[in-house]
């Protein structure tokens, strides 16, 4: 089964297609999320985290607040986290292209 890439907050104006090499994109939330909606947002993230496998990824996108809630929810259900963060690589003509960098986090 192909891994899933859980996008913390989808921005329809942003191209996430470079992350598809890591797995199937799953949008967890979309658009602006105000701070007073933290409980509902955390609950949403926890529902995704409960069903995620160790082979899946969390793609950090959106405000720091949203990313922090997603990491908290994920780590509540797993002792490790493979996440993708925005990065830049160079193509054959030395032009910057959008990419993602893998980071592994675990705790005991």
Global pTM reads: 0.88
What pLDDT does residue 108 have? 65
**CA gap 42, 74 in Å, rounded:** 10
What pLDDT does residue 28 have? 97
How would you write the pLDDT of the chain (108 residues) with one tens digit per residue? Answer: 899 999 999 999 989 999 999 999 999 999 999 888 899 999 999 999 999 999 999 999 999 999 999 999 999 988 889 999 888 788 888 888 888 888 888 876
Long-range contacts for 92-100 (Cβ within 8 Å, ≥24 apart)? 97/18, 98/15, 98/18, 99/18, 100/18, 100/19, 100/22, 100/59
């Amino acid at each position: 089964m192909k891994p899933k890439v859980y996008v913390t907050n989808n921005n329809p104006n942003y191209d996430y297609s470079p992350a598809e090499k890591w797995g199937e994109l799953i949008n967890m939330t979309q658009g602006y999320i105000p701070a007073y909606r933290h409980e509902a947002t955390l609950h949403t993230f926890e529902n995704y985290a409960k069903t995620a496998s160790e082979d899946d990824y969390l793609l950090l996108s959106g405000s720091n607040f949203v990313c922090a809630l997603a990491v908290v929810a994920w780590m509540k259900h797993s002792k490790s986290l493979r996440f993708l963060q925005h990065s830049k690589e160079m193509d054959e003509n030395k032009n910057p292209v959008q990419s993602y960098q893998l980071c592994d986090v675990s705790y005991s």
